[in-house]
């Protein structure tokens, strides 16, 4: 792993700067705790052309504008924001939050980095789940010692997963499925990269080959899915939070099974709407402050 600096202990880190993350920060800062916001981009919101069904906008606003307004609003309150892609979170009593450049330690975390809308449409992925397809290198890498594995993705998150597998597996290949690699080639070490587009996944009971669009076959023992960025559900799965249909199961107050960890917005399922993200964010921000007040007493 690349060396990373471990910053001083933060009280609260909010991952995500969409409606849920920013609302959480607004309520936390009003309640007296200034969070640190880590974010990548505006996600699904940024791509929405017009927001027409959110309270108070008589003229539709673009998702991009609303997202930028949210960032400006929180920055005006002197809340620090850092545009760094989140890679993973570990829990050892505190939360260790890894980005590509830093590791932060925090007492409480609010996960609000949304959900992936465009997961790969290979229907075979589902078929081989648990039989050669994995979503967690740190959990399942163990079963692929001295085997040939591939990581599906093209960003720093895919590289992160490949690096976890590198010391275990015989061969690790990152499959970008037609996309340009978005990581530095000098960081690859022994990891190979294949950019061909994938057509299908094959195998009897477990995955054994991928077929590329040019009909060449790629033999492998395991495929680790690490598309795009590590979203809240990728991170939650590795922490062992209960999941259902790719959503994090939260309590009514947005808390999870881990103390001080809250989740809000699209990652908790239900309506993928700004209104719901704002509500859950507000609640998560409030509850995280309640939690910290008790913890820090």
Partner 1 sequence: MAMEFTTANFEQEVLNSEVPVLVDFWATWCMPCKMLAPVIEELAEEANGAYKVGKVDVDASPSIAAQFGIMNIPTVLLFKNGQVAGKSVGAVPKEKLQDLLR
Residues lying near partner 1 in the complex (CB under 8 A) are found at 90-91, 129-132, 134, 136, 138-140, 142-144, 205-206, 222, 237-244, 249, 257-258
Q: In whole angstroms, how close is the CB of 76 to partner 1 at the nearest point?
A: 38
Nearer to partner 1, 66 or 137 (CB): 137
Considering only CA atoms, which of 271, 285, 296 is closest in space to residue 109? 285
Nearer to partner 1, 34 or 208 (CB): 208
Any idea of the CA torsion for 212, 215, 216, 221, to the nearest 10 degrees? 50
In total, the chain counts a number of residues equal to 297
Nearer to partner 1, 22 or 152 (CB): 152
Nearer to partner 1, 154 or 233 (CB): 233
Alpha-helical regions (H) of 3-155: 19-30, 43-47, 63-75, 124-127, 137-140
Contacts of 10 (CB under 8 A, 6+ apart): 35, 36, 104, 105, 106, 107
Q: In whole angstroms, how close is the CB of 243 to partner 1 at the nearest point?
A: 7
Nearer to partner 1, 241 or 283 (CB): 241
Structure tokens, 177: 């499925």
Q: In whole angstroms, how close is the CB of 62 to partner 1 at the nearest point?
A: 37
Nearer to partner 1, 56 or 130 (CB): 130
Q: In whole angstroms, how close is the CB of 206 to partner 1 at the nearest point?
A: 7
CA distance 270 to 247: 9
Task: Check: CB of residue 122 under 8 Å from CB of residue 27.
Answer: no
Q: In whole angstroms, how close is the CB of 137 to partner 1 at the nearest point?
A: 11
Q: In whole angstroms, how close is the CB of 140 to partner 1 at the nearest point?
A: 5
With vertex at residue 110, the alpha carbon angle to CA 235 and CA 51, rounded to the nearest 5 degrees, is 95
């Amino acid at each position: 792993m690349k060396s990373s600096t471990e910053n001083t202990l933060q009280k609260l880190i909010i991952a995500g700067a969409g409606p849920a993350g920013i609302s959480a920060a607004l309520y936390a800062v009003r309640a007296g705790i200034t969070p640190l916001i880590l974010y990548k981009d505006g996600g699904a919101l940024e791509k929405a052309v017009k927001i027409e069904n959110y309270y108070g906008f008589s003229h539709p606003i673009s998702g991009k504008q609303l997202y930028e307004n949210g960032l400006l609003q929180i920055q005006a309150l002197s809340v620090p924001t850092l545009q760094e892609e989140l890679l993973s979170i570990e829990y050892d009593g505190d939360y260790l939050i890894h980005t590509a450049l830093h590791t932060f330690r925090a007492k409480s975390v609010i996960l609000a980095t949304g959900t992936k809308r465009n997961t790969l449409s290979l229907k075979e992925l589902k078929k081989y789940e648990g039989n050669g397809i994995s979503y967690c290198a740190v959990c399942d890498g163990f079963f692929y010692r001295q085997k040939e594995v591939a990581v599906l993705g093209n960003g720093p998150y895919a590289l992160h997963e490949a690096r976890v597998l590198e010391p275990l597996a015989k061969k690790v290949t990152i499959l970008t499925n037609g996309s340009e690699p978005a990581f530095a080639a000098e960081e690859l070490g022994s990891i190979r990269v294949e950019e061909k587009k994938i057509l299908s996944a094959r195998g009897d009971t477990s995955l054994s080959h991928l077929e590329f669009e040019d009909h060449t076959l790629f033999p492998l023992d395991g495929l680790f899915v690490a598309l795009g960025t590590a979203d809240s559900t990728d991170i939650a799965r590795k922490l062992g939070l209960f999941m259902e249909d790719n959503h994090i199961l939260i309590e009514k107050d947005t808390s999870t099974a881990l103390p001080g960890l809250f989740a809000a917005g699209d990652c908790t399922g239900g309506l993928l709407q700004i209104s719901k993200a704002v509500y859950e964010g507000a609640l998560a921000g409030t509850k995280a402050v309640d939690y910290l007040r008790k913890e820090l007493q």
